[in-house]
Each structure stands twice: as C-alpha cells, then as structure tokens.
C-alpha cells in the first residue's frame, strides 16, 4: 500500500508539473518585456502629466508620428541603408582580421608571445581616441568610418578566437596525433568544432562593438546615416527626431543580435553531440 501511495504521489506531482509548464513558458517569455514596457508606461504617463517639458522629452505618440513620417518620406530607409552598408563592410573586415589574428595566436605560442602584449595595450584605447590619428591618415571620408568600425569589431573577435582555440582538451589533440592527423586536420576536425561556440560569442560581441562605433563615427563625421540623423535632430532641437533615430538603432541592433544567436544555435545543433 505504501508503494502504491508513493507511485500515486509521484504521478500527481508529475501531472501538476506538466500543467504548470505552459504557464512557466509564458512567464519566461513575458518576463524580459516587463522592464521595457514599464519604462514605456512611465514615459507615457510623464509626458501626459507634463512632468517633463515636451521640448526635452517628447511623448511616445509624437516620436511614433515622426518615425512614421520618416518611413513615408523615404528618409528612414536612406539613412538606415547607409548605416547598414558601413557597419556591414567594416564588421566583415574587422571580423576576418580578428579571426586570422586570433587563430594565429591560438595555434602558435610564439606568435602569441610576440603579438598579444602589444595587442592588449592597443585595445585599451577607445575608438574616439583613434579618430584624430586616422583622420590625418585617410581624411574625413568613408574609409575613416570603415577603419574605426573594423577596429572595434576586430578586438572581441580576436580575443574570443584565441580563447576558443586554446580551450580544446589536450587529450583530444593527443588522440588526433595517435591517428596520424595532419596539422590541418587537427585544426578543422578537432580544434575548430570545440572553438565554435566561443567564436560565435566573439562575433556577436564584435558586431555589438561595430554597431556602437558606427553611431559614434556618424555622430562625428557623416552627412547621412542614423548617427547623422541623431546629430541633425539635436542641432535643430527636434528631440522627437533624435528619439526616433535611437529607437531604430536599438531595434536593428537587437534584431541582428537575435539573428546571430539563432545562427549560433543552428551551428551547435549540427555539431556532433549537439542539441537536437
């Protein structure tokens, strides 16, 4: 009887946990939206009650109307496409250079000893500090933006690539040597699969740095782009235009980060032993 009672209790507990599962999923999905929705509600209430002057903080409806006007006139696509083209080219160049540099340091202790100390010293210098120096070399045109964006993306990609290449278990490398794997086979079949999650983390961080640097560069030297739109709105004291551009910047950055996260998950599932 005691055994039957224990089985019944276990079955009851399992069924209750299953019944609670959909609510838990709903809670996990809704929880991240709690803070932004609360801030939006506070912003709406503050604008409606006149806590802050509309010239300082326009209402969400005013910002939405401005954003809709930008989309209708085509200006939003013009500035967004210019920013995406810049960050795309700069990020690809910086990520490629970071992957090559990180792989070289990860595969050779001698290269790491020569390069890493200087690299760690240079990466402490922020992007804006490089602006005057690069400005003297290439001028104020588009190459300035590409170089600074590439520099920002290269740093996290290189460091995460180095970390990923170094975290491969020594035992697996020894197994590869026993089976007669060449250097190329060890890198492609042993080191790279184990480094892949860390590489994608570096790529996500690199894009975040590139996107932030894009806005900073366009704030300083640009005649088009989302950063320029922010500067233009500030100069005219049109805070609704500034807020609309900020919303677009945040939305695009979030969507691309989610896309990279989905790509990382897909790659992990294709790996041996990955989640199915």
Higher pLDDT, 114 or 17: 114
User: Does residue 13 sit within a domain?
Assistant: no
Region 144-171: mean pLDDT is: 84
User: Does residue 14 sit within a domain?
Assistant: no
User: Does residue 115 sit within a domain?
Assistant: yes
Higher pLDDT, 140 or 176: 140
Q: What is the DSSP string of 165-219?
A: HHTS-HHHHHHHHHTT--HHHHIIIIIHHHHHHHHHHHHHHHHHHHHHHHHHHHH
- The whole-number pLDDT of residue 215 equals 80
* Residue 3 scores a pLDDT above 60: no
Higher pLDDT, 156 or 55: 156
Range of the domain at 103: 84-218
* Residue 7 scores a pLDDT above 50: no
User: Does residue 224 sit within a domain?
Assistant: no
How do residues 71-90 score in pLDDT, each as one tens digit?
888 888 888 888 888 898 99
When divided into structural domains, the chain yields a total of: 1
How many Cα atoms sit within 13 Å of 163 on the Cβ side?
12
- The whole-number pLDDT of residue 275 equals 44
- The whole-number pLDDT of residue 93 equals 92
How do residues 118-138 score in pLDDT, each as one tens digit?
888 888 888 777 888 888 888
Higher pLDDT, 51 or 96: 96
User: Does residue 189 sit within a domain?
Assistant: yes
* Residue 270 scores a pLDDT above 60: yes
Hey, which of 23-27, 95-99, 270-274 has the most confident mean pLDDT?
A: 95-99
Looking at the chain, how many residues does it have?
Answer: 276
User: Does residue 51 sit within a domain?
Assistant: no
**CATH number of the domain bearing residue 136:** 1.10.3720.10
User: Does residue 56 sit within a domain?
Assistant: no
Instruction: Read off the pTM.
Output: 0.76
- The whole-number pLDDT of residue 197 equals 79
User: Does residue 173 sit within a domain?
Assistant: yes
Region 192-201: mean pLDDT is: 79
How do residues 234-244 score in pLDDT, each as one tens digit?
888 888 888 88
Alpha-carbon gap, residue 220 to 233, rounded angstroms: 14
């Amino acid at each position: 009887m005691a055994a039957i009672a224990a089985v019944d209790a276990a079955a009851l507990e399992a069924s209750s946990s299953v019944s609670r599962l959909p609510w838990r999923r709903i809670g996990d999905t809704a929880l991240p939206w709690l803070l932004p929705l609360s801030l939006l509600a506070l912003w709406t209430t503050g604008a409606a009650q006149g806590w802050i002057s509309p010239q300082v903080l326009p209402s969400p409806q005013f910002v939405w109307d401005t954003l809709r006007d930008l989309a209708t006139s085509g200006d939003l696509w013009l500035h967004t496409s210019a920013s995406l083209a810049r960050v795309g080219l700069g990020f690809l160049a910086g990520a490629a250079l970071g992957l090559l540099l990180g792989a070289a340091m990860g595969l050779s202790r001698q290269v790491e000893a020569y390069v890493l100390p200087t690299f760690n010293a240079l990466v402490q210098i922020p992007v804006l500090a490089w602006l005057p120096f690069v400005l003297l070399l290439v001028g104020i045109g588009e190459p300035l933006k590409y170089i600074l964006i590439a520099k920002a993306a290269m740093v996290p990609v290189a460091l995460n690539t180095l970390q990923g290449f170094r975290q491969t278990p020594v035992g697996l490398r020894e197994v590869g040597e026993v089976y007669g794997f060449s250097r190329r086979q060890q890198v492609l079949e042993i080191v790279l699969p184990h480094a892949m999650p860390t590489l994608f983390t570096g790529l996500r961080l690199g894009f975040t740095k590139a996107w932030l640097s894009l806005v900073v560069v366009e704030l300083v030297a640009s005649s088009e782009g989302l950063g320029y739109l922010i500067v233009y709105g500030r100069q005219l004291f049109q805070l609704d235009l500034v807020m609309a551009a900020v919303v677009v910047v945040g939305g695009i950055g979030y969507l691309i980060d989610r896309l990279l996260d989905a790509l990382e998950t897909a790659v992990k599932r294709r790996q041996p032993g990955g989640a199915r």
